[in-house]
Structure formats: C-alpha cells, structure tokens
Amino acid sequence: MPKQPDQRRELSAFLRSRRERITPDQVGLPQTGRRRTPGLRREELALLAGISATWYTYLEQGRDIRASDQVLDALASALRLDRYERGHLFQLAGHAPAAEAEEPEPLTAEVAAVPLLIQPHPAYIIGGNYDVLSYNQAADELFPRLTAAADRPANFARWVFLEPAARDVLVDWEPEARGLLARLRTLAGRHPGDPRYTRLIDELNAGSPEVRDWWPRYDVQARHGGRKRLRRPGRGAIDFAYTAFHLAEQPEQTLVIYSDERESVERESVEREGTEGESAERESVG
C-alpha cells in the first residue's frame, strides 16, 4: 500500500528522532571530528543496519520508497527499538493497513452502561483519540472538569494538558503526561490523516508548551494498566491501581477502572478480621 505524504513525513520524523538519540559510543563506533547534530550520522546508521546510505537518506527524507520487512528489522535493531516502537515503525512504513478517516466511534448502549455498573469505583471508556465515550459519577468526581465542556466530547488528553485542575489532581503530572502523549502518538500513527487525531494534536500543540517540546521527541507507548497517585479533596494524595480492558468489537476503545488501594487494604483487613472472628466462634462452639 503506497504511503501518503503525511505518513512519509511521520516516518521521516520518527527515524530521525531515534537516530539522534543514539551516540557512537553506544554502538561501538569511534568519535570522529566535530558533530553538527546529536546522535548518529545517517551513513553510520546505514552501516549498522547493513543498507545503502543513499537509500536510507531517501527514506529519512520522506521520499516515496518502500522498505522491505528485512530492512525494517535491520533498522529497528540498529536503532534499538522496543517492541512498541518497532510496531510503530512498521505501521508508518506501510506494512500495516492505515485507517481511513472515521465517523464518531460507535458505542452500544450495553457497553456505555458498563461504567455505571462499576460504581462506586471510578470507571470510563475512552476511544482511540482519548475521547471519553462513557463514564460514571465516581470518575466525574475523581477527575474534576473532565466532562465539563458541553460543546464537544470530553477528552482525557485535552484534560491532562489544557485543564489546570489536572496538574493538581495528578500528583506525578509530568511522567503521567509524557506517557499519555506517547500513547496518543502510537494511536495517531495508525490513523494518518484522520481529522479526529490531527485536530486534537493541533489543539494540544497550540495550548501546551510541554506538547510542543515533547511531541518532536517521538515517544511511543502502548496502553496499559498500572498505578497513579491522585489528589482528592480532603484526603490528600492517594495511590490508585488502574486496569485497562480493550473491547472485543472495538479494540481501540478501552475500559479503564480505578481502585483506591487504601480502601482495598482496609476492606481486606475487615474481611480477614471477620473470617478470623467466625473461626474463633466456631472453635468456641465446638
């Protein structure tokens, strides 16, 4: 499948960003003379990957050429890409079907009701571009002003970067924001030219100096579960565990559920005490 101009530019930017992160020392090359740019030179990377320097230059310049799986594997190895970055490279190089511009994401009533069933645990469903498609009251309270805009869908990425309250709620705002941007970049790479992504990214770049600084770094990452420290009014910083479930029919839609680890520990303690009490009572009766 031929790559579109936007996709070729994305591939060019990705290759350049990764090449500039690797020093000659890291790959066993000698330092030779003064370097005008950080990282490896194009011809050095081509040598490591075992390909023509001219051909690699054309690829990084965004020319309309197609790389084979073997060449992409060699580049991924030379650039020391992890599995998510490698998959992203293959997608940008046209080795995965590019998504066409899409209509608003479909969400059945049964799926939309799932976060309501999980109350009082905060839960929401997000689309590929981080639009919040469904949420419950606990999530609305945990992330203040996330769903406040009446003229457009709530969007978690927009909230993190453009809503001042996010910097107070997210105790570790910078690493959380960097990770979210890397995941957005991964998903945007699957939808070159899709206006849902381009509009959001343009808005984030216009409104956030951090996005303007971090976006050119070309970090990519897959969605995953983990832990977050969130600040709640009157309770201070609380550790939350969160789990992400991808929906079978719409794999880029994700159900995210949060659990307060402090409450979980307290609940386990109460349940354990109750079990021990029942055991003691049975022994007494016996």
Give the confidence band of 101 by pLDDT, cuts at 50, 70, 90.
very low
Looking at residue 39, the DSSP 8-state letter turns out to be S
pLDDT digits 0-9 by tens, 112-166 = 999 999 999 999 999 989 999 999 999 999 999 998 766 678 999 999 999 999 9
* Residue for token pair 């809503």: 163
Q: Is the dihedral of CA 223, 225, 230, 232 positive or negative?
A: positive
Tokens (6 digits) for 170 = 């997210």
- At residue 114, the 3 state secondary structure works out as helix
The candidate with the shortest Cα–Cα distance to 203, out of 189, 184, 186, 218, is 184
Give the confidence band of 100 by pLDDT, cuts at 50, 70, 90.
very low
Compute the radius of gyration of the chain from its Cα atoms: 24
**Against a cut of 0.85, is the pTM above it?**
no
Average pLDDT over every residue of 243-248: 91
Q: Do the Cβ atoms of 115 and 139 come closer than 8 Å?
A: yes
CA-CA distance, 115 to 121, in Å (whole number)? 9
pLDDT of residue 210: 97
Residues whose CB is less than 8 angstroms from the CB of residue 9 and which lie 6 or more positions away in sequence, other chains included: 62
What one-character-per-residue DSSP string does 183-228 give? HHHHHHHTSTT-HHHHHHHHHHHHH-HHHHHHGGG--------EEE
Give the confidence band of 263 by pLDDT, cuts at 50, 70, 90.
low
pLDDT of residue 284: 52
Give the confidence band of 105 by pLDDT, cuts at 50, 70, 90.
confident
Give the confidence band of 84 by pLDDT, cuts at 50, 70, 90.
confident
Which runs of consecutive H residues, i.e. helices, occur in the chain? 5-19, 42-49, 53-60, 69-78, 83-92, 109-112, 114-118, 137-142, 156-162, 164-169, 173-189, 195-207, 209-214, 261-285
Which of 10-14, 113-117, 163-167, 280-284 comes out lowest in average pLDDT?
280-284
